[in-house]
Chain A
């Protein structure tokens, strides 16, 4: 089978480490991709230095969106919020280690979109392509 369902993606899809809701949490945001009905919520706990101490995602979606959410949360533990604001589309693709067509790209980027919206606060526009 091809790269799209690489072992690392299947592993994070089937056995996610960061699946679950955090209650209480410091930051929470959810959004959906209406095209495929994927829905992701991300909860974060942040320490006194503005660094992420705990993270969890919930919702439903395809293997790509779920694996990318798990990989993303894994990568941000210990990072400060400013570093999260600087994450880009390429960071997600590097985590997944695959090339994606335009349709599946949306699946992969949903968690980043939700995460950034949470960190920035609702209402701020987010341009995932900002530094490309």
Chain B
């Protein structure tokens, strides 16, 4: 894939890993092998294939639990993606434990997936939503956060890494302050888990949501991590097979964790692919991944700052991960992205599912280049050359 020519003579430069990552051969192979050799429905059958499929599905859960430092694999719930994980918290925990007038704290830099579920629940329950402001240099205003905590929020839900500016938020500190104020915490790890070492015990996070497809795995599978004590108290999210212990015509007894939240036949092949992705990342080491991206990002920021008329948004390299959002003079981001595409360079243009953040900086849209473990300095050079071409054409 990364060797592919997207247009004649133009080798792909993939700078959109924040939207979704490319997949290593080992992940594709694990899924292919599952379908060719082991495919069966899980948890019920007693035949050999069913046992193999169940073992593969549960082994992947164990790998993911170890990867994020969960105490037990019962704390790892499979979902479709980060968005579904956050909705699970809103619809199960939120519906059961939040009441009219309760305060939920979010931030101004959230992706729509960590805003809309709370808008919906707020409308249903009469919740009060408050937002930690973003400073001009793209960081969270922690002073304002401390003030907001005086409102005695029930929940603080925030992103550990912004998908637009790359800002890495001080998650451990945010969580400790929230706990001191008596609030439960939800970390949106869609960007942080793929790019940084993340350990739920070290963070003391109550919930952590992330997706496989942004971390070398397939689409259609994600995880909600939750502390066991919280998950035990929560009512089921969706009803169906596998989430029950016993069913009669007039009722049911929910299954134990983690199956209580996994109704119906799940994405088995995808779970196994997710496990292979976690193996791949563990082998390379998340410390290496983080360091590599920091280096590429610092280089990219240096090269891009040489382009006149280009303005980058967000914090300095030390406070951010492998993402940089920018504008190029008055040229519309769609035109930037389209002309770069003709050079084989894939970037994202738009508001990146974070409209409120763009409103905060008074921007209709930005162009975003993002990096991952396979990104190289040569690709950054191609980006810089491509941007010069854009300026020649439209500037």
Which A positions have Cβ atoms within 8 angstroms of B?
A: 1-2, 4-5, 10, 13-14, 34-39, 60-65, 104, 107
Contacts and interface: CB of A to CB of B under 8 A. Distances in A.
A1 B365 CA distance: 24
Given A1-B342, A62-B335, A36 B393 contact: no
B365 A37 contact: yes
Given A35-B350, A36-B349, A37-B358, A62 B393 contact: no
Contacts of A39: 364
B333 A63 contact: no
Contacts of A107: 334
B350 A61 contact: no
Q: Most A CB atoms within 10 A — which of B332, B339, B355, B358? A: B332
Q: Most A CB atoms within 10 A — which of B350, B364, B394? A: B364
Contact of B334 (A1, A34, A104): A104
29 contacts: A1-B339, A1-B342, A1-B393, A2-B342, A4-B338, A5-B338, A5-B339, A5-B394, A10-B394, A13-B394, A35-B350, A36-B349, A36-B350, A36-B351, A36-B364, A36-B365, A37-B350, A37-B363, A39-B364, A61-B332, A62-B332, A62-B334, A62-B335, A63-B332, A63-B335, A63-B394, A64-B334, A104-B334, A104-B338
Given A37-B350, A63-B335, A10 B393 contact: yes
A81 B4 CA distance: 50
Contacts of A34: 355
A14 B364 CA distance: 20
A5 B335 CA distance: 9
Q: What size tier do the contact residues of chain B reach? A: 10 to 19
A88 B333 CA distance: 27
Interface in B367-395: 393-394
B384 to A, nearest CB: 18
A115 to B, nearest CB: 20
A2 B8 CA distance: 12
A62 B367 CA distance: 12
Nearest to A13: B394
Closest 4 A-B residue pairs measured CB to CB? A37-B364, A62-B332, A62-B334, A37-B365
Q: Most B CB atoms within 10 A — which of A1, A10, A65? A: A1
B87 to A, nearest CB: 22
A35 B365 CA distance: 9
A36 B367 CA distance: 11
Nearest to B338: A4
Contacts of B355: 34
Contacts of A14: 394
B339 A36 contact: no
Nearest to A59: B364
Contacts of A63: 332, 335, 394
Contacts of A35: 350
Interface in B328-353: 332-335, 338-339, 342, 349-351
Given A5-B394, A36-B332, A39-B364, 8 more contacts: A1-B342, A2-B342, A13-B394, A36-B334, A36-B351, A37-B350, A37-B365, A65-B332
A104 B333 CA distance: 12
Contacts of B334: 36, 62, 64, 104, 107
Contacts of B394: 5, 10, 13-14, 63
Contact of B333 (A1, A10, A36, A64): A36
A9 B335 CA distance: 12
Nearest to B363: A37
Contact of A60 (B339, B349, B364): B364
B351 A37 contact: yes
A37 B354 CA distance: 12
A65 B365 CA distance: 15
Nearest to A103: B334
A1 B343 CA distance: 9
A91 B365 CA distance: 28
Contacts of B350: 35-37
Contacts of A62: 332-335, 338
B393 A5 contact: yes
Contacts of B332: 36, 38, 60-63, 65
A39 B365 CA distance: 12
B363 to A, nearest CB: 8
Nearest to A32: B364
Contacts of B351: 36-37
A60 B333 CA distance: 12
A59 B175 CA distance: 43
A71 to B, nearest CB: 16
A64 B331 CA distance: 12
A37 B187 CA distance: 28
Nearest to B350: A36
A119 B162 CA distance: 42
Contacts of A65: 332
